[in-house]
Every structure is written in structure tokens, then in C-alpha cells.
Amino acid sequence: MPAHRQVPDYQIARFLPKTHQYCVVVPVINEGDRLGALLRRMDSLGIADRADIVIADGGSTDGSTRAEALRSAHVSVLLTKTGPGRLSAQLRCAYDFALDEGYAGIVTIDGNNKDDPAAIPSFLGELQDGIDFVQASRFLPGGSAENTPRSRDLAIRLVHAPVLSISSGFHWTDTTQGFRAYSARLLLDPRVAPFRDVFMDYELLAYLSHRAPRLGYACKEIPTARHYPRGEVPTKISGVRGNLRLLLTLFRAAAGSYNPRSDPR
């Protein structure tokens, strides 16, 4: 890890050598059977034949990241965050590892099995074609959203995506989900500077949606399917306090509050 990166402490357990130009990062914490179901879907699609699979664990205690289960699913590496922070901290660990390993780009997909991993090759193709930021969208033609809670659907369509579209100058339609891809050059740009301790919770996702288009990076949304189990909302964001915190993060990102001080544009 370069000295200028602020990254929480994390442990590395390697099961397979680096064999691909890109990696697929799966952030998880106590996802239980959902993670196993996602990895089985990815295995059936042969994702490990296209990209190395990296699990970014925030400190699961439910046994879902047991080494034998990950090996059987052709996972290359398990990263376990031991330092402070939540999702953004996990992602900083994963990005730090991926850049140190020399990957040209990273695809991230949540470990709760809500997203269809069949779209992963499309993300990889966009990275190969020179796109720097690829965002999944359930709302584009060809995409689908099943059992999305009504309140969340309205919040994304009427608040979150419009605010980031206006602030970034890029028309986003689906800005809260973590099914995305980034080029290494985007993450290494000092004007982006994602390796800062200000990114501890969910700030990094909103920030990159604001910052990348403002800096002129090639951004694109692609249609994907996102499925919520009927009667269940597998999410780490819940309650009035959690949603208010997410809104505060959104408006801070849109106002440029997370931009590096050396380049506040």
C-alpha cells in the first residue's frame, strides 16, 4: 500500500493466483446463504474464467466466508477488514488490494444476491472499451426491478438520481446500488483520491457518481436486473436514521464536500 493511501487494516487470504486483467469485488458482511447463492450463480456463469473473484469482508461472524466454501466457488482472494468503518472502508481495502495487484479495472457486486451476475461480462466489456465508470441501472430499457420497496423506488427516481445528475452533469437513473465498475486510472487519479478516511460509511458511492463525470471520465449506465425477495428487504440501510444519513451523504457529495481540498471543483 503506498504511504499516501488511507486504508483500514485488512488481512489477505489467497486461494488462487492472479490470472486476469480485471477482478470482481464482492463486499459482504453476514450475508449468510445469500452470498453462497450469489457465488453459485457466478460459478454457473463461469465468471472466474473471465475475472478474478475477490471477497471484501467487513468482519462477518456467520460463517458465510469460510475458506472451503470460497475455494469451491473459485474465489481467488478473501480480504477481511480489521480496521474501522463500514461499506466505504471495505471498498477502500478492496480497491487498494486490486491496484497493488495491477488490475486494470474492478467490478463490484453486492454479496446479498439481489443483482443478476449475468451482467458482469457486460461490465468487463465496457471497461475493455475504455469506459471508466459503469453503473448498473434497473430503470433503463432492458433492465428490471422486482419487489423494490415503493419508498426506495421513489427516493431513487425523484431524489437521489436527479440530485447526482444535476451536480455531476451526467444523466444518472440508478445511483444507490453498488453494482458498478471502475477503471484503475479513475481510482488512481489524485483529483479523485478515494483513499481518504472521510469515506467510512456509504459516502464513496455517491461521491464517485458526482466526481467522475465532473472530471470528464467516460461514464455509462447499462441495464441490469435487481431482485428483492418477496417480503424481505436485505439491506444494511434501514430506519429513519439510516435513510436520513444517506440523504445527508447525498447532498454533501453533490455540494462537492468530499472533493479533495487541493481540487475543490
pLDDT tens-digit series, residues 117-127:
999 999 999 99
57 domain-assigned: yes
pLDDT on residue 55:
98
261 domain-assigned: no
Report CA 249 to chain centroid distance, whole Å. 16
DSSP β-bridge partners for residue 79: 12, 56
159 domain-assigned: yes
CATH code for the domain in which residue 224 is found: 3.90.550.10
Q: Is 175 exposed, middle or buried (0-12, 13-18, 19+ CB in 10 A)?
A: buried
First to last CA, the chain: 27
pLDDT on residue 235:
54
The count of C-alpha atoms lying within 13 angstroms of the C-alpha of 66, restricted to the half-sphere facing its C-beta, is 9
Cβ distance 162 to 151 under 8 Å?
no
Cβ distance 182 to 204 under 8 Å?
no
Count the helices and strands in the chain (H runs, E runs): 9, 10
CA–CA separation, 147 and 67 (whole Å): 33
265 domain-assigned: no
- CA-wise closest residue to 176 among 264, 253, 240: 253
pLDDT on residue 231:
64
pLDDT on residue 2:
77
pLDDT on residue 229:
87
pTM: 0.93
Domain count, the chain: 1
Q: What is the pLDDT of residues 174-210, one digit of tens each?
A: 999 999 999 999 999 999 999 999 999 999 999 999 9
54 domain-assigned: yes
264 domain-assigned: no
Q: Determine the structural domain holding residue 222 and report its residue range.
A: 10-254
- CA-wise closest residue to 7 among 104, 94, 111: 94
Q: What is the DSSP string of 42-65?
A: HHHTTGGGTSEEEEEES---SSTT
5 domain-assigned: no
149 domain-assigned: yes
pLDDT lower than 50: segments of the chain: 234
